[in-house]
Amino acid sequence: SYVLGIETSCDDTGIAIVDTSGNVKANVLDSQQEFHTRYGGIIPPRAQDLHRARIHSAYERCLEEANLQPEQLAAIAVTTRPGLPLSLLVGVRFARHLARRLKKPLLPVHHMEAHALQARMEHPDAIPFPFLCLLVSGGHCQLAMVHGPGRLTLLGQTLDDAPGEAFDKIARRLRLYILPEYRLWNGGRAIEHAARLATDPSAYDFPLPLSQQRNCNFSFAGIKNNSFRAIRKKERMERTPPDGIISNYADFCAGLLRAVSRHLMHRTQRALEYCLQPQVRFFGDGQPTLVVSGGVANNDTIFANIQHLAAQYGCRSFRPSKRYCSDNGVMIAWHGVEQLLQDGDSSLRFDFDKVDIQGSAGFAASFEEQ
Ligand code: ATP
Ligand code: FE
């Protein structure tokens, strides 16, 4: 059977249909990126207007692409948190309306959990529960033990910025967007590409954040502020015009990427050591497994570094295919499938009047704090 997934937590209108074996029947993604980059950031009421204007046609296109009738859907899954409340509301209202009209169950989805479970869609046998997950995205940085849908134990999270957010802000400050090839790219992708062009990759160095703390928390504000300072210093030295870019931007990007990678590895190492302790034995008799997910998991350097680290602990690492790392409707539909597989028919009792949005504040609620 088929599950429809609706994602409107931020600036992408994503609607997709996935079957219970994980085959993607349709995947419609309307990005607002081009619109928002013109204004230097997301304006929530504008994002809401764009979701409203696009959601109906996205739904129609999705059914058409899947070549299905709405009656053939088994359930509607929708992101209810965390995210921009105005944006979430558009998806939730649309999903409620559909579920009522079609008399189908409505499955609420936690956006970060959907990122965490997505890799299972493509590797169901290789990634059995439980597994360790490093969630790295535009709004979050978390390490969690994943027992099943709705059952995550948070080991640590960022105390300030998320890595994707830091990449985006630093890329803007660096003015990478004045280079035509990066004009429409997100900051993380532009920095990854520029870093490959470095001629002196060790020209910039950043201290390791939280190096003395023996836990799984993250901090990216220090790296961000050090970046701003280093860019300003170089701009002064070179007398860079206000619409120009420093000459060794590629070296800078390589240093930044190395700093972020090292921090992510350092914290993931703590989590692995914790999970493998004889008193914890989180993986039981199963093979230790790590999933890296969220938009920053697109980064080949970061993923290769994490994979290398995990391998030293006998742990295999996976990430979703690139097209599913960033926000999309497929991961929401797949989370719906996971809920159906876990709960069987009991989820059909779900009362859709109770499905409502919860803003970012409530996001940790589904995580059982460690
Ligand atoms: P959240 O999931 O926390 O609510 P989000 O949904 O906005 O945040 P995602 O869509 O998962 O975030 O990821 C977007 C982020 O991923 C952006 O900040 C972007 O800079 C980053 N990103 C995308 N591609 C890459 C890459 N190749 N390297 C590093 N970062 C990347
Ligand atoms: Fe996301």
Q: What is the pLDDT along the chain (370 residues), one digit of tens a residue?
A: 999 999 999 999 999 999 999 999 999 999 887 777 767 778 999 999 999 999 999 999 999 999 999 999 999 999 999 999 999 999 999 999 999 999 999 999 999 999 999 999 999 899 999 999 999 999 999 999 999 998 999 999 999 999 999 999 999 999 999 999 998 899 999 999 999 999 999 999 999 999 999 999 999 999 999 999 999 999 999 999 999 999 999 999 999 999 999 999 999 999 999 999 999 999 999 999 999 999 999 999 999 999 999 999 999 999 999 999 999 999 999 999 999 998 775 555 445 555 565 433 333 333 333 3
Between the alpha carbon of residue 197 and those of residues 17, 27, 248, 300, the distances in Å are 39, 34, 10, 15
Q: How far apart are CA 17 and CA 198, in angstroms?
A: 41
Tokens of 30: 């309307």
Quick one: pLDDT at residue 156? 95
Q: Give the distance (Å) from ligand 2 centre to CA of residue 327.
A: 5
- CA-proximal residue: ligand 1, atom 6 (nearest): 327
Quick one: pLDDT at residue 366? 37
Q: How far apart are CA 340 and CA 103, in angstroms?
A: 16
Q: Which residues contact 101 (CB under 8 A, 6 or more apart)?
A: none
- CA-proximal residue: ligand 1, atom 4 (nearest): 139
Polymer length of the chain: 370
| Exposure b/e, 75-112, CB count within 10 A at least 16 = b | bbbbbbbbbbbbbbbbbbbbbbebbeebebbbbbbbbb
Q: Give the distance (Å) from ligand 1 centre to CA of residue 269.
A: 22
Task: For residue 171, give the ligand 1 atom closest to its CA.
Answer: 20
Phi then psi for 6, rounded to 5 degrees?
Answer: -125, 125
ipTM, interface predicted TM-score of the complex: 0.99
Q: Which ligand is nearest to the CA of 12?
A: 1
Quick one: pLDDT at residue 36? 77
Q: Which residue has the tokens 């003395």?
A: 212
Q: Give the distance (Å) from ligand 2 centre to CA of residue 278.
A: 34
Tokens of 26: 């349709």
What is the pTM assigned to this prediction? 0.93
Mutate which of 137, 140, 165, 363 to test ligand 1's pocket (most atoms within 8 Å of Cβ)?
A: 137
- CA-proximal residue: ligand 1, atom 29 (nearest): 188
**Residues near ligand 1 (Cβ within 6 A):** 10, 111, 115, 137-140, 164-165, 167-168, 186-189, 192, 294-296, 298-299, 326-327
Whether the bond between 108 and the residue before it is cis, its omega within 30 degrees of 0, is no
Quick one: pLDDT at residue 357? 54
Count how many Cα atoms sit within 13 Å of the Cα of residue 55 in the half-sphere of its side chain.
25
> Of 138, 159, 174, whose CA–CA distance to 255 is shortest?
174
Mutate which of 30, 326, 332, 358 to test ligand 1's pocket (most atoms within 8 Å of Cβ)?
A: 326
- CA-proximal residue: ligand 1, atom 5 (nearest): 138
- CA-proximal residue: ligand 1, atom 12 (nearest): 138
Q: Give the distance (Å) from ligand 2 centre to CA of residue 125.
A: 24
Quick one: pLDDT at residue 367? 37
Q: How far apart are CA 355 and CA 338, in angstroms?
A: 18
Q: Give the distance (Å) from ligand 2 centre to CA of residue 31.
A: 13
> Of 12, 14, 51, whose CA–CA distance to 34 is shortest?
12
Q: Give the distance (Å) from ligand 2 centre to CA of residue 9.
A: 8
Task: For residue 325, give the ligand 1 atom closest to its CA.
Answer: 11
Q: Give the distance (Å) from ligand 1 centre to CA of residue 33.
A: 12
Q: Which ligand is nearest to the CA of 176?
A: 1
Q: Give the distance (Å) from ligand 2 centre to CA of residue 333.
A: 14
Quick one: pLDDT at residue 324? 96
Q: Which ligand is nearest to the CA of 299?
A: 1
